[in-house]
Amino acid sequence: MENSAAKALSALFGEKPAFLKRIGGGAYGAIFLARLPRSSVCVKVFFRPGDAAREALWYRALKRANVCLPHIFGEWENCLVLEYIHGTNASMPPAGCDFDAVGEKAAADIARL
């Protein structure tokens, strides 16, 4: 997967990353942090063909809804190259977060509509 990330960066930017490290992953693929001469980017490498294009489409649709999302630099094969945003890993909830309570409140709010 790291090889795919490096190839995507070469194809989109014409240069090899100075640094490439896996920083996450899950059921859909892996996420890498890459440092290029002018910026840091995130490369999402998907297991299934077509998932990168599908996620890029979702990002573009959400941006039209005025949702703040990372900039998409491009797609290459099964990779999506995005702006890297430093922060907490979204798959690791903050301590004390009660997802059940949040879900119940959201369901109650939807039921009132």
For 15, the enclosing helix (H) or strand (E) is none
Please report which confidence band the pLDDT of residue 20 belongs to, taking 50, 70 and 90 as the band edges: very high
Where residue 69 sits, what CATH number does that domain have? 3.30.200.20
How far is residue 79's CA from residue 30's CA, in Å, rounded to a whole number? Answer: 10
Q: Which residue has the higher pLDDT, 100 or 5?
A: 5
User: Which residues is 20 bridged to in the sheet?
Assistant: 34
Average pLDDT (10-35) is: 92
Q: What is the pLDDT of residue 13?
A: 92
Run of H or E residues at 40 = strand 40-46
For the chain, percent of residues with pLDDT exceeding 70: 88
C-beta of residue 5 within 8 angstroms of C-beta of residue 32: yes
What's the number of domains the chain is made of?
1
pLDDT of residue 46: 95
91 within 8 A of 24, measured Cβ to Cβ: yes
Which of 74, 79, 86, 77 has its CA nearest to residue 13?
Answer: 74
Query: Which carries the bigger pLDDT value, residue 36 or residue 102?
Result: 36
Q: How many CB atoms lie within 10 A of CB 17?
A: 20
Q: Enumerate the β-bridge partners of residue 45.
A: 30, 79
Centre a 10 Å sphere on the Cβ of residue 16 and count the other Cβ atoms it contains. Answer: 12
Tell me which residue range forms the domain holding 89. Answer: 2-111
